[in-house]
Amino acid sequence: RSPALTAVFVDIGGNRRLEDVLRLLQHLRSHLPGARYAALKSEALAGLLRGEAPPDGEAKAAWWEQLLAGDHTCRRRPLRPMEVIMMYPVRSAPCGREICRFANYGTCRRGAECGYDHAHCHCCGAAGHLASGCPELRPPEA
């Protein structure tokens, strides 16, 4: 039987947000309970330890436990409308031109100068309507 894992070295690929680092430490603690030492570089975590952690050993240990027990879920900002539109996949009209997602789901600021197709629906590919009015997206009539 191999010895229990006692040390973990983590390369997080640059400085990450404090919430991400704390979630990683929570994950390591829950999935590698035998690990007693975790080494990782985080300027945000080092700054927090310097600024908020008590100097006393027992008080520092209690502070650390409370920090790791907290909720560190990712709190992302809401997506901007343009980001939502850009999440739709690229689709092409039968002629091969890419269908304008902005015209279909919002407003295309380029108008007639836009190099993308404004005549076809991004949802079903049919000509004559846009995705915002696509019959395939309407709920069935009762």
Per-residue pLDDT of the chain (142 residues; tens, 9 = 90+): 566 778 989 887 766 788 888 999 999 989 888 888 889 888 888 889 999 999 988 999 999 999 999 988 876 777 788 888 888 899 999 999 999 999 999 899 998 899 999 999 999 999 999 998 999 888 777 6
Q: What tokens appear for 92 in the block?
A: 């092409």
Neighbours of 20 (CB within 10 A): 15
pTM comes to 0.49
The pLDDT value recorded for residue 79 is 76
Token pair 């590698």 is found at 32
Sign of the dihedral through C-alpha 55, 56, 57, 60: negative
What single letter denotes the amino acid at residue 130? L
Sequential DSSP letters for 7-27? EEEE--SS---HHHHHHHHHH
